[in-house]
Structure 1
């Protein structure tokens, strides 16, 4: 039974006899994007299964993680990948190589030939051989069908369940559509990872493939070591060997790579680009400012021209489809994203009719005039059937010919924070836009006998000399050669970045 509470009585909401059970960590759902809900068939089936699953999940990867907008860099990665694929015997898949817009250093593959490397991992590399060995490793995961085999083992249970009965489709359908990701997950294609044997096989077969393509198989060791060292540097925690880890211990992997490499011969074919580091100049570090940045809890999107303040101490998340925040209790969240461009009022009316038709109640849409003289349309709902009432906000509004929507849920304790956050949505100011600075990779030429400390000071590096040494695989106290290319990180104003692009 649903009853409407009029706004004049002091509430924006509707009381609903609906079950509210939000458990688990909703943020995990936003970040875990490779959800599959099928019973793993026999691995004897044709590779059409790999192609189907790969195509389905590749679309989700690219929508949720985003492709790095650098066509020249992506084309280069594809060329290196193509050189490796050319050495496969009877390849069963058409391979595609893409750079993911993610600062976390990672590379992964989906069934059917979809191989991804993040800009975060590229930033750690120092030559084309390292890139080739990483891509070859992922190619082997595909050709050996490790993802399909891992699904059969079901090594992870369900990570999250968000029932679809929270005011009908308000959460399950509307938030799911906004985030372009299902809110129910079961077996996870990526988060489950590979077994130790799968990783070891991909190391051995991957460097063998790289050697056949003319790349130095030993290059796999340094990039693994540098990746591990970068994580230890950031976390200040040393990796410890554990027999419960799914992945092999990094020093053990490097040792086995060196052992296998001794048996391999490679021609040392000329790289596609001998000046690899120049490919990384200008690479974004941390958040991509073109997708918006956080200044504490304030989110600024200079391209779309919007800003919104999220509640203090809430965990924030920024994905291509939506930006938002989740309370630490995992029962409260607010997300903002684009709505279908049918006009804010039309979107609100459509939602009103859907709820009325589904639940046979009258829904009131509350219009308000925004600070930029546009109309915002609010719908408020209360679900009072659970242990405590849950407040739901739905808001539609327009700014600069774009239509936005806000989806928020919370118990009463956080309702005011949710509403204040939703009302903070507004155009970005020029002062805010001008203050946005972002770290980027810069490749600088060293002076003769210059130290890393001296180079860091001269180049206004944002990272200290020990981090520069790690990033470039250099000794901290070594003297540099004249014109030696060195990667550093510098701060650049957003307006300079956007002008350069």
Structure 2
């Protein structure tokens, strides 16, 4: 009797992959790639990640983070790997790891950490993902579900079965999951202790990120907005600092320390943060309310009142308060005339209400792509640069409901003026020693933070939502 096709493919799947001993835990895990394939996967992924996550241009800080990361990694279960630690030029609160030892931490997260030990805790957590091959296990599970989905679809003759299996597979491998995150915490805490850092720093980082969540929830409530989701992928988003399981996985690391002196290196860490941008950096352009200034590219523009501005590495987006109207701007290379450039991008689509733009000595062109979901498009040339705008509304509303605001934004684009240069500079951290009697309310009065300065200063200094500066202790201020 002939073997069913499903069984044949299943046997083939088993042959492709198998159980391998986890180098960090000693457990048997299902994997479908060798270590060399893992390294190749990590290298390819790091090249793509680099396009979307620009490196922060401070080589002294980069070298410091690399040094701390290597100190932790050399006491890991896979110290033979060549680890690469990179600070990403982003205000997001995040850190992540790729297979093979490529680890990233956003400068936005750095700003809220309080010591070198806490930095080591974040990096150690990510090293734990690498040593336990969590990314490889995730990729292998995804590949397995894909093969099984094809088997079900072919074996049953029902294409939808393959789609269903892919959905189940996606649900299974979405994120690392709490067990893997806890495992990375336990491994990271071990590496901290072996490196001479205080493993309690792992708990302190959880407190920092839980305060971030509390702050975001409180700010959203004050503005009548929905609570935003945490940007951090890891265990810090899944349990509180007093969680029993977290205490249990960190406990063995405390025993490993065995009462020996464990470093925190708070002052050294804070010295490296002095001058770190808070929010946007000069390289990415600076948002100030509804206005945007970019020193490197030499332009400024403004969005309508009450609009939210999202600053991404490859696109600048403005959206209305109710998120029904959007306008996005991207940078491209200028070719030909503005009209020819825009029509070439439309690839034969019609352009209504077309007109030339002349503003602040710059040439441009704009028009409307007609249709049920009409769009306003425009381009403005500035030297060899072409700034391309695309604007639309959603929810069935007509373009006319927001077109005046779209045009207002496009026509606000202009070369950066001399008196705007200062506005294109970011806010930065400044380290000072607290004086007797100082309060956060007093310090907030002289802060350039645009809103909720007192609460933000508390958050930066691990004292949210209450507490006051301690005389003689280092404080993070913003100037």
TM-score by length of 1: 0.68
Q: Does 1:405 align with 2:388?
A: yes
The range that moved more, 68-77 or 281-290, is 281-290
Q: What does residue 9 of structure 2 align with?
A: none
Deviations along 1:205-224, one digit per CA (max 9) or x if unpaired, are 11111222222212211122
Gap regions ≥5 residues in structure 2? 1-12, 18-30, 143-167, 222-226, 228-235
- Contact conserved, 2:342 with 2:378, CA < 8 A, in 1? no
Give the Å deviation of 1:404: 1.9
* Greater RCO, CA 8 A, separation 6+: 1
Give the Å deviation of 1:96: 1.2
- Contact conserved, 2:278 with 2:478, CA < 8 A, in 1? no
Aligned with residue 202 of structure 2, among 189, 204, 220 = 220
Alpha-carbon distance between aligned partners in 1 of 2:360 and 2:180, rounded to the nearest angstrom:
56
Deviations along 1:298-331, one digit per CA (max 9) or x if unpaired, are 3222332222233444442111212122356766
- Contact conserved, 2:71 with 2:195, CA < 8 A, in 1? yes
Alpha-carbon distance between aligned partners in 2 of 1:204 and 1:319, rounded to the nearest angstrom:
34
- Contact conserved, 2:185 with 2:249, CA < 8 A, in 1? yes
Give the Å deviation of 1:130: 1.4
Deviations along 1:190-212, one digit per CA (max 9) or x if unpaired, are x9432110111011111111222
Q: What does residue 284 of structure 1 align with?
A: 277
Aligned with residue 418 of structure 1, among 401, 406, 419 = 406
Other structure's SS at 2:388 match: strand
Give the Å deviation of 1:398: 1.7
Q: What does residue 105 of structure 2 align with?
A: 117
Alpha-carbon distance between aligned partners in 1 of 2:456 and 2:369, rounded to the nearest angstrom:
51
Give the Å deviation of 1:392: 2.7
Alpha-carbon distance between aligned partners in 1 of 2:417 and 2:342, rounded to the nearest angstrom:
31
| Greater per-residue helix proportion | 2
Within a 5 Å distance, the mapping from 1:229-244 to structure 2 comes to: 229-236=211-218
- Contact conserved, 1:336 with 1:406, CA < 8 A, in 2? yes
Aligned with residue 313 of structure 2, among 317, 320, 331 = 320
- Contact conserved, 2:433 with 2:475, CA < 8 A, in 1? no
Alpha-carbon distance between aligned partners in 2 of 1:309 and 1:316, rounded to the nearest angstrom:
10
Give the Å deviation of 1:352: 3.5
Q: Does 1:194 align with 2:161?
A: no
Deviations along 1:360-415, one digit per CA (max 9) or x if unpaired, are x78799562512333213354213xxxxx222333332225433222233443333
Alpha-carbon distance between aligned partners in 2 of 1:236 and 1:454, rounded to the nearest angstrom:
18
- Contact conserved, 1:398 with 1:404, CA < 8 A, in 2? yes
Q: What does residue 173 of structure 1 align with?
A: none
Within a 5 Å distance, the mapping from 1:11-22 to structure 2 comes to: none
- Contact conserved, 1:87 with 1:209, CA < 8 A, in 2? yes
Alpha-carbon distance between aligned partners in 1 of 2:61 and 2:169, rounded to the nearest angstrom:
33
Give the Å deviation of 1:113: 1.8
Alpha-carbon distance between aligned partners in 2 of 1:479 and 1:375, rounded to the nearest angstrom:
56
- Contact conserved, 2:118 with 2:264, CA < 8 A, in 1? no
The range that moved more, 90-99 or 48-57, is 48-57
Alpha-carbon distance between aligned partners in 2 of 1:314 and 1:142, rounded to the nearest angstrom:
41
The range that moved more, 109-118 or 299-308, is 299-308
Q: Does 1:135 align with 2:123?
A: yes
Q: What does residue 249 of structure 1 align with?
A: 240
* Closer, same or farther: CA 104–232 of 1 in aligned 2, 3 Å: same
Q: Does 1:376 align with 2:367?
A: no
Other structure's SS at 1:124 match: coil
Q: What does residue 392 of structure 1 align with?
A: 375
Alpha-carbon distance between aligned partners in 2 of 1:344 and 1:139, rounded to the nearest angstrom:
51
Alpha-carbon distance between aligned partners in 2 of 1:130 and 1:209, rounded to the nearest angstrom:
13
Aligned with residue 203 of structure 1, among 160, 185, 193 = 185
Within a 5 Å distance, the mapping from 1:165-204 to structure 2 comes to: 192-204=174-186
TM-score by length of 2: 0.70
Gap regions ≥5 residues in structure 1? 1-38, 155-185, 240-244, 384-388, 492-501
Q: Does 1:86 align with 2:74?
A: yes
Q: Does 1:480 align with 2:471?
A: yes
Alpha-carbon distance between aligned partners in 2 of 1:477 and 1:378, rounded to the nearest angstrom:
54
Alpha-carbon distance between aligned partners in 1 of 2:350 and 2:211, rounded to the nearest angstrom:
60
Other structure's SS at 1:87 match: coil
Q: What does residue 453 of structure 1 align with?
A: 439
- Contact conserved, 2:91 with 2:279, CA < 8 A, in 1? yes
* Closer, same or farther: CA 477–303 of 1 in aligned 2, 3 Å: closer
- Contact conserved, 1:225 with 1:251, CA < 8 A, in 2? no
Alpha-carbon distance between aligned partners in 2 of 1:107 and 1:460, rounded to the nearest angstrom:
31
Deviations along 1:474-499, one digit per CA (max 9) or x if unpaired, are 79367524xx4x122233xxxxxxxx
Alpha-carbon distance between aligned partners in 1 of 2:470 and 2:408, rounded to the nearest angstrom:
55
